[in-house]
Structure 1
Amino acid sequence: MEDDKPLLNYYRPSNKAILEKYATESKGNTITELSADGKWIVTNVELTDIAHFGGWNEATKKHFKDGGVFDKIYEKK
């Protein structure tokens, strides 16, 4: 059962329409060949920086102030 834990936590949409949508939209990230140095690069990933979120001050206010996003998702023990 210990070996099954990663599988139990893997996200699988239960809505078949959503599953089909993302399954057909995926371009896949299967590595088909390695360069001579053995490294690989995924090129279909879009990156952003903190400016996308309004800068550090805005992101900190929204996510880490009292009652912010972090407080809403964090489980208190």
Structure 2
Amino acid sequence: YNFVGRILGPRGMTAKQLEEDTGCKIMSGTRRERSNDTEPLHVLIQCEDYEKKAHQKMRNAVEAINQLLHPPVRL
């Protein structure tokens, strides 16, 4: 399943929408070089705000990304 493509979306639009909705910077952990495929896929979420607001924004971003990480059920 293409998790990176699911998070980024067409032309990066899904990631941009996530950033707008959550107020966090979302970066996929893709690698330019495929030689180190042992590194697990990851997503970096950054947020600058007052501590409590930043924690809430981060929780919202994690929840939104987790929803994207479930492959659609094929019937």
* Fold-level similarity (TM above 0.5): no
TM-score (norm 1): 0.22
TM, length-normalised to structure 2: 0.22
> Relative contact order (C-alpha < 8 Å, sep 6+): which is higher?
2
Q: Which has the larger radius of gyration?
A: 1
